[in-house]
Structure 1
Amino acid sequence: MRDILFLAHRVPFPPDRGDKIRAHHVLKHLAKHARVHLVAMADVEADLHHDAVLAEHCASHAVIWRSMGRAQAAATALLRRQPISIAAFAHPEYARAVQRTLAAHPIDTIFVYSGQMAQYVPAAFAGRIVMDFCDVDSAKFADYAEGASLPMAIMMRREDRLLARFEAQVAARADASLFVSEAEAALFRSRTGAARVQVIENGIDTGFFDPAAGFAGAGEAGPLIVFTGQMDYRPNVDAVIWFAREVMPLVRRSHPTARFAIVGRAPVPEVSRLASESVLVTGEVADVRGWLAAAAVVVAPLKIARGIQNKVLEAMAMARPVLASAAAAEGIDHAGTITVADTPAGYVSAIDALIAGPGDLGPAARRQVERRYGWPARLGPLDALLGLETRAAA
């Protein structure tokens, strides 16, 4: 049986945020065909205590605490003339864990999840390297620079430039560079000239996100408009602030009891301050499905969105009417089963229509997800890419 080293920037369990969801399902898929050796970082205390679950899927695993803060990462990156994203995930103990794993096991493939972790692939490694970029991280910083204050804009443009250079170097060495959508893959090719670029789309666990399972709901009176996501992530923060300030006051004119629920862990202070009679800020919840089940409309008003948005797939799987920005809808084959808007007036008009009568939109979205986005089908191309089909049949 083959041995694969899986390098991850976060522990791929539990699958409760976008980056961990994809890593979780990729790791489980690989573990069906090979011995997987995981080296991952943890940045929350709970992620140091998943040994039993990781042992179910991994032949070995090591979890390293990521201790470097943002300020230290920025200072280190400036001194070393490297991207902050790389400095933030640099850790000597992680490098030692990688070396120990390579020395102890006959690793023939290194699967790198997220670009920051490519710094740990040894220069002398002669086996197969698969780089799962997911999306074009450097381009995100170019987006951040637009409209930012001058000092921040300079830093974001620096990050874009240096990280894009790093990504191109990684892709030149990798046997394959993976992205979650053709739009992201095309953008990466245009920015780097990379040739060995493939698309492995995100999927959804339709058995877990199943409206037929029945949920008590969130128990809120009046139409409930729901946003889900990690609430210390800048694009999510900007999206909910914009929606709460620019859209909700207009919605309340025609729906006085409507409320906007911001559902997700680690809300930053500027999100917490949005809480009011019309805006709920839940913080971390035990199960996001209850909130989705209670939603009259699920919104994803992101201005910056790279790749396929799990929050949109989850709402579609729960058969909810989804209203998303063009950026959040990009890359998802929604086949007309979700509504797209980008202006306050567009959101208000769509919300009015969806609250009045969503028709078959929710059930149609569910059917589309079932047809198109089950994880086994989405990850199937990995078998041929890694030569797992032949090994599994042997």
Structure 2
Amino acid sequence: MRILWTLPYLPWPTTSGGKTREYHLLRNLAARGHRITLLVQSKTELDDATRIALEPWLERLIVIPRRPLRSVRTLLAMVFARPPMLASANGFSPPLQHAFEALLQEQWDVIQIEHSYSFQPFEAPLRHTGKPFVMTEHNIESGLGAASYHHFPDWAKPFTRFDQWRYRHWEKRVFAQTRELIAVTEDDAKGLTRLTSRATRLVVNGVDCDYYAKVNPDRYSRRLLFIGNYEYGPNLDAVEWALDHIMPKVWKLDPMVRLTIGGYAMPAEWRERWGDHRIDWLGYVPDLRTVQKEAAIFFAPLREGGGSKLKVLEAMAAGLTVVTTAQGCSGLKVANGTHYLGCEDAHGLALLLVEAIEQPTRLARVGEAGRAYVREYHDWSVSAAQLEGIYSRIHRQEDAQACV
């Protein structure tokens, strides 16, 4: 099939869950013979490394620069426009809209839009041409925004309530126009179905299982690992909760435990705020296997967020025992005590970590059960097959309508 795919960010380097998902789905669909044109609005420039990583999988790569977040146009739109804050920041881009209009003059088997917050520049051209499109919503953004708004100052509370109201209305408006709406977890699919009163399809998040298959965690290392993208608020909250409330309890019980924290866009002030010598600070880690093999446990104390967590899936694929919360394993059909170890409060997580670090055999059993789970249900080949099935069903329906 010829596929027109749109994104509000470049999917390389894979510094976030969303970028990782997009890159691997594009790669797997291209490997299955589909011809993809990728239209991107990006806040970062297209460099040679990104071009080299993406172009082998694409017929065309078209990148439109996004205006600065603090531009007058963006700030006015975020406050006064009908779309919510996130959709306004990514919308109202004449160059992007014109590029999309030109592409719509071509014949496409599928038009794939990622994220409702990216939709504003595409709405008028799609309505004008009447062409159907598929949308994947990675989170129910109105609910995710509600989880993050508490980071705003008190004086901004009236605006955050207003913006959440705007996003609920924006979701209903956008989703009503889709040919197919896709979620990444069953819970989100149910939530979107309730919101739209129509079926929502599922394409799960995945992991490159072969890439992580040969990782052998050091279950005797007494080392915990957390990796995140710190442009994402829930990861900031996870680190702060861990270092302010959980790790002090761990170290009181077992002062030999170490913690490695890595990831993209790590705040520079963290090293001074938490200067304990038992914390090893890393930046962006291009190859996670290098740090996974040194750890005994992947510790993900997540209290916020949505969807399923690619960092958790990657840790499981590497055979690491995951210690986390219900939020950390949301969207996954995993059992506490079998595929991961979980608790919801700081004291319980600290006890769980200290107990587990003393039991390498238990870590091996849980880690290998998690590895087997993701290989069966969350390899990227599974996700690509689910998405391809949706495309094929749409194509058959259109062929049947044409015959009538």
Instruction: Give the structure-1-normalised TM-score.
Output: 0.90
Which residue of structure 2 lines up, in the alignment, with residue 304 of structure 1?
A: 304
The equivalent position to 2:162 in structure 1, one of 151, 158, 164, is 158
CA shift for structure 1 position 330:
1.7
Alpha carbons of structure 1 residues 345 and 88: separation in structure 2 relative to 1, 3 Å = same
RMSD of Structure 2 on Structure 1 (CA): 2.4
Asked if the contact 1:235–1:302 (Cα under 8 Å) also holds between the matched residues in 2, the reply is yes
1:53 matches 2:53:
yes
CA shift for structure 1 position 49:
5.0
1:230 matches 2:229:
yes
Asked if the contact 1:321–1:354 (Cα under 8 Å) also holds between the matched residues in 2, the reply is no
1:320-367 superposed Cα distances (whole Å, 9 cap, x missing partner)? 111111111121122331011121111111101210114111111111
Which residue of structure 2 lines up, in the alignment, with residue 322 of structure 1?
A: 322
How many residues align? The count is 383
Consecutive unaligned residues in structure 1, runs of 5 or more? none
Partners of 1:53 and 1:298 lie apart in 2 by 28
The equivalent position to 2:177 in structure 1, one of 173, 185, 193, is 173
Q: Which has the higher contact order (CA 8 A, sep 6+)?
A: 2
CA shift for structure 1 position 162:
1.0
Q: Which amino acid aligns with 1:371?
A: E
Asked if the contact 1:112–1:132 (Cα under 8 Å) also holds between the matched residues in 2, the reply is yes
The equivalent position to 2:356 in structure 1, one of 354, 372, 382, is 354
Q: What SS is found at the alignment partner of 2:137?
A: strand
Which residue of structure 1 lines up, in the alignment, with residue 379 of structure 2?
A: 374
Partners of 1:312 and 1:57 lie apart in 2 by 26
1:265 matches 2:268:
no
Which residue of structure 2 lines up, in the alignment, with residue 82 of structure 1?
A: 83
CA shift for structure 1 position 34:
2.8
Partners of 2:17 and 2:84 lie apart in 1 by 22
Alpha carbons of structure 1 residues 248 and 367: separation in structure 2 relative to 1, 3 Å = same
Partners of 1:384 and 1:371 lie apart in 2 by 18
1:334 matches 2:334:
yes
Partners of 1:270 and 1:167 lie apart in 2 by 37
Partners of 2:129 and 2:109 lie apart in 1 by 9
Q: Which amino acid aligns with 1:276?
A: D
Which residue of structure 2 lines up, in the alignment, with residue 28 of structure 1?
A: 27
Partners of 2:158 and 2:319 lie apart in 1 by 43
- Counterparts of 1:269-280 in structure 2, within 5 Å, are 269=268, 271-272=270-271, 273-280=273-280
Q: Which amino acid aligns with 1:63?
A: V
Identity of aligned residues (%): 25
Partners of 1:66 and 1:189 lie apart in 2 by 32
Which residue of structure 2 lines up, in the alignment, with residue 97 of structure 1?
A: 99
CA shift for structure 1 position 169:
1.1
Partners of 1:256 and 1:28 lie apart in 2 by 44
Instruction: Give the structure-2-normalised TM-score.
Output: 0.87
Consecutive unaligned residues in structure 2, runs of 5 or more? 397-404
Asked if the contact 1:297–1:322 (Cα under 8 Å) also holds between the matched residues in 2, the reply is yes
1:189 matches 2:193:
yes
Q: Which amino acid aligns with 1:290?
A: T
CA shift for structure 1 position 45:
4.1
Partners of 2:96 and 2:376 lie apart in 1 by 40
The equivalent position to 1:202 in structure 2, one of 201, 205, 208, is 205
Alpha carbons of structure 1 residues 155 and 291: separation in structure 2 relative to 1, 3 Å = farther
CA shift for structure 1 position 150:
2.2
CA shift for structure 1 position 47:
5.2
Deviates more, 1:268-277 or 1:13-22: 268-277
Alpha carbons of structure 1 residues 389 and 289: separation in structure 2 relative to 1, 3 Å = farther
CA shift for structure 1 position 155:
3.0
Partners of 2:210 and 2:144 lie apart in 1 by 32
Alpha carbons of structure 1 residues 30 and 293: separation in structure 2 relative to 1, 3 Å = same
Asked if the contact 2:185–2:202 (Cα under 8 Å) also holds between the matched residues in 1, the reply is yes
